[in-house]
Amino acid sequence: MRVVLFGAGGNGKELMPILVENFLNEFSCRLEDFQYIETNPKSELIHSIVVISEEDFFQQDLSDEVLFNVSISDPKTRLILVNKFLSFGCQPVKIVSKNAVVANNVKLGLGVTISPLALISPDVTIGNFSQINYFASVSHDVNVGNFVTVGPGARINGYINIEDDVFIGAQATIMPGSIGNPTVIGKGSKIGMGAVVLGDVQPNSTVAGNPARKLH
- Look at residue 97 in the predicted model and tell me its pLDDT: 95
Decide if 2-93 and 96-210 have a common fold. Answer: no
d(CA 183, CA 206): 16
- Look at residue 159 in the predicted model and tell me its pLDDT: 98
What is the arrangement of strands in the sheet containing 167-168, beginning at the earlier edge strand?
95-96, 113-114, 131-132, 149-150, 167-168, 190-191, 206-208, 213-214
**End-to-end CA gap in the chain:** 45
Low-confidence ranges of the chain (pLDDT < 70): 25-28, 216
- Look at residue 27 in the predicted model and tell me its pLDDT: 66
Give the domain ranges of the chain: 2-93, 96-210
Catalytic annotation, pick one of 13, 73, 140, 196: 140
Q: Coil, strand, or helix at residue 33?
A: helix
d(CA 166, CA 171): 15
Asked if 47 is an active-site residue, the reply is: no
b/e burial code for range 19-36 (CB count within 10 A of at least 16 → b): bbebbeeeeebeeebbbb
What's the topology of domain 2-93?
Rossmann fold (3.40.50)
CB 206 within 8 A of CB 186: no
Does pTM top 0.75 for this prediction?
yes
- Look at residue 31 in the predicted model and tell me its pLDDT: 83
CB 215 within 8 A of CB 198: no
d(CA 135, CA 152): 6
d(CA 117, CA 2): 27
Looking at the domain that runs over 96-210, which CATH code has it been given? 2.160.10.10
Contacts of 41 (CB under 8 A, 6+ apart): 8, 51, 52, 53
Q: How crowded is residue 135: how many other Cβ atoms within 10 Å of its Cβ?
A: 17
- Look at residue 30 in the predicted model and tell me its pLDDT: 82
Instruction: Quick: pLDDT tens for 75-89.
Output: 999 999 999 999 999
Longest dimension (CA), the chain: 52
Number of residues in the chain: 216
* DSSP at 99: T
